[in-house]
C-alpha cells in the first residue's frame, strides 16, 4: 500500500485552518465570548430586518430582485466597515441560498377537492 504524502502547502493550509478555528472558538467562547456573540447576532438581525423592509416595499419579488436587495444592503454594511467584508459576504451567500425555502413557505396551498356524497 502506498503511503499518502502531504505537500507543504496542504500542511500549511491545514495549520492555518486549525489556527483560525482555534481563534474563532476563543473569540466566541472565551472570557468575553458572550459580548462577542451578542454583537455578531446584533448586526445579523439588523441586516435581516433591513432586507425584510425592502422586500415588503418591493411587493412581488423575483429571485434576481431578491439577490439585488441583499447586495444593496450588503454594500451599505461593507461601507460602514464595522463588520469584516468576508463575514458579510458569507452571511449574504447564506441568505441568497434561502430563496427556494422562501418560495416553499410562500407558495399557495393546493385546494382540496371536496368529495361529493351521492344519495342512494
pLDDT one-digit tens code per residue, 70-87: 899 999 888 887 778 888
Please give the pLDDT value at position 20: 59
In a domain, 81, yes or no: yes
Please give the pLDDT value at position 25: 65
Q: Is the pLDDT of residue 40 over 60?
A: yes
In a domain, 118, yes or no: no
In a domain, 77, yes or no: yes
Mean pLDDT of the chain: 76
Please give the pLDDT value at position 103: 76
Secondary structure of the chain as H, E, C letters: CCCCCCCHHHHHHHHHHHHHHHHHHHHHHCCCHHHHHHHHHHHHHHHHHHHHHHHHHHCCCCHHHHHHHHHHHHHHHHHHCCCCHHHHHHHHHHHHCCHHHHHHHHCCCCCCCCCCCCCC
Please give the pLDDT value at position 96: 87
Q: Is the pLDDT of residue 111 over 60?
A: yes
Please give the pLDDT value at position 19: 61
Instruction: State the residue range of the domain holding 61.
Output: 38-106
Please state the domain count of the chain.
1
Amino acid at each position: 500500500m502506498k503511503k499518502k504524502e502531504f505537500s507543504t502547502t496542504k500542511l500549511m493550509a491545514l495549520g492555518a485552518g486549525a489556527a483560525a478555528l482555534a481563534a474563532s472558538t476563543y473569540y466566541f467562547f472565551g472570557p468575553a465570548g458572550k459580548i462577542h456573540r451578542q454583537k455578531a447576532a446584533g448586526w445579523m438581525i439588523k441586516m435581516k430586518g433591513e432586507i425584510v423592509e425592502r422586500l415588503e416595499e418591493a411587493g412581488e419579488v423575483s429571485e434576481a430582485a431578491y439577490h439585488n436587495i441583499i447586495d444593496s444592503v450588503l454594500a451599505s454594511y461593507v461601507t460602514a466597515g464595522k463588520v469584516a467584508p468576508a463575514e458579510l459576504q458569507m452571511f449574504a451567500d447564506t441568505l441568497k441560498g434561502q430563496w427556494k425555502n422562501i418560495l416553499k413557505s410562500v407558495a399557495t396551498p393546493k385546494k382540496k377537492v371536496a368529495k361529493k356524497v351521492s344519495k342512494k
